[in-house]
Amino acid sequence: MRTTWSAAALAVALFASSAATAAITHVSGSGFSYDPGIALEDARADAIGKCTAQGGEPIAEVYNHVTRANQWIASSVWSCEVADAP
């Protein structure tokens, strides 16, 4: 029983310490092309660029979508870890 409480306390302490130093935000990007792969690649690059412009580190892609109009239109949403200001 004591080990369980110690592990739980350690997990809470680690979560609290990391929450104080970084925040998770979501950024989105978009891309247009006559090729769906290029449109999605451009959307991902746009989202990652927005994350790094905030001084963040891209974590993972959360969602993407590609649709056809006159051109292929793509969107991509990424999780971004941004350091909190002191």
pLDDT 10s digits, 13-66? 545 455 456 899 999 999 999 999 999 999 999 999 999 999 999 999 999 999
Sign of dihedral through CA atoms 61, 67, 68, 73?
Answer: negative
List strands edge to edge, sheet with 56-68: 22-33, 72-83, 56-68
Are 46 and 57 spatial neighbours (Cβ–Cβ below 8 Å)? no
Q: Which residues pair with 74 in a beta bridge?
A: 31, 66
Task: Judge whether residue 86 has pLDDT over 80.
Answer: no
